[in-house]
């Protein structure tokens, strides 16, 4: 009888431990590394909108400072569960997709290019979920063998829409059509949506192993995802501007990233 009671007690204790460990796991918010810029070399920063979007979606944001030391970068990745590649400068066409620069090319940042390309390759190799936004989305394409329009207005021969809006950042100015069944479709539960637009570069040739999942009406690529992966995807627009302002239209994009990150 005494033995039986002891068994029951230890069973209860085990159950308690099991439930407690389950709770601590679901409550442990995943850490999301956010790629940064050094500006003129005086600071390390990322727009607050990315930080706020990660927090709103249930993640813990950390900013990944630039380094040219791959070992240091590798240790940074040891402590994150997912990565966001942020917007910013144009990507060096000569170094990363073998094209001479045309007059319409904007400012490039060699140190940021080198860091970002190493970061995204390392993160994907580790199986970490990665969300690319604007420059980050273009960089994802280039890192895996794709090319870009260096400057859409001077390179796209067919009529273009306005992709550099003169409207508030959290206001959608052009629509996109989203592939049914794609990650973006599942994340925001829409096949058409108005997005903001702040770019003059865009994906031209899609990288092998990636597919286009959204386009604007002029045919410009507005979203890509890695085929056969649920965790590597990019958008040309800026969902973080909506999400950080409390608009839930694109919150699902960040929630998906954080959900994938929690499975690390």
User: Measured from the CB atom, is 109 or 197 closer to Mn ion?
Assistant: 197
- For position 200 contacting Mn ion by CB under 5 A, the verdict is no
Please return the burial class of 148, using the count of CB atoms within 10 Å of its CB with bins 0-12, 13-18 and 19+.
Answer: buried
Based on the shown chain and the rule CB under 5 A, indicate whether residue 197 belongs to the binding site for Mn ion. yes
Pull the structure tokens for residue 15.
Answer: 């159950």
**Active-site hit among 134, 174, 222, 260:** 134
* 134 labelled catalytic: yes
- Our answer to whether residue 238 is catalytic in this structure is yes
- When CB distances to Mn ion are compared, the closest residue is 197
Binding window for Mn ion (CB under 5 A); candidates: 8-16, 41-49, 195-203, 205-213: 195-203
Catalytic one of 137, 163, 238, 256: 238
Site for Mn ion in 146-175 (CB under 5 A): 163
Please, is 16 exposed, middle or buried when counting C-beta atoms within 10 Å of its C-beta (0-12, 13-18, 19+)? exposed
> 32 or 241: whose CB is closer to Mn ion?
241
86 is an interface residue for Mn ion by CB under 5 A:
no
Task: Enter the tokens of residue 151.
Answer: 């400057």
CB of 194 to Mn ion, least distance (A): 11
| Distances 184 to 76, 85, 135 between C-alpha atoms, Å | 28, 17, 18
Q: Which of 165, 153, 143, 136 is nearest to 235 (CA)?
A: 136
Is the CB of residue 234 less than 8 Å from the CB of residue 120?
no
Active-site residue (options: 163, 199, 225, 240): 240
Positions marked catalytic: 134, 238, 240
Give the footprint of Mn ion on this chain (CB under 5 A).
163, 197
């Amino acid at each position: 009888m005494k033995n039986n009671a002891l068994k029951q007690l230890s069973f209860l204790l085990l159950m308690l431990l099991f439930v407690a460990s389950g709770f601590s796991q679901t409550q442990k918010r995943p850490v999301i590394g956010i790629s940064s810029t050094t500006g003129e070399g005086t600071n390390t920063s990322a727009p607050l909108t990315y930080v706020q979007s990660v927090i709103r979606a249930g993640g813990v944001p950390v900013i990944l400072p630039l380094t040219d030391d791959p070992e240091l970068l590798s240790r940074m990745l040891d402590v994150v569960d997912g990565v966001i590649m942020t917007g910013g400068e144009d990507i060096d066409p000569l170094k990363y997709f073998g094209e001479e620069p045309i007059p319409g090319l904007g400012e490039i940042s060699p140190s940021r290019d080198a860091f970002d390309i190493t970061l995204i390759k390392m993160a994907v190799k580790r199986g970490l979920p990665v969300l690319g936004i604007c420059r980050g989305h273009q960089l994802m394409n280039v890192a895996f063998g794709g090319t870009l329009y260096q400057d859409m207005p001077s390179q796209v021969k067919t009529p273009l829409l306005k992709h550099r809006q003169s409207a508030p950042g959290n206001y959608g100015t052009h629509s996109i059509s989203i592939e049914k069944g794609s990650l973006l479709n599942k994340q925001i539960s829409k096949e058409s949506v108005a997005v903001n637009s702040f770019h003059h570069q865009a994906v031209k040739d899609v990288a092998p192993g990636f597919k286009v999942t959204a386009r604007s009406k002029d045919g410009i690529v507005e979203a890509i995802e890695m085929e056969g992966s649920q965790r590597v995807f990019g958008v040309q627009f800026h969902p973080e501007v909506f999400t950080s302002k409390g608009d839930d239209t694109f919150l699902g994009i960040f929630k998906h990233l954080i959900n994938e990150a929690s499975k690390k």
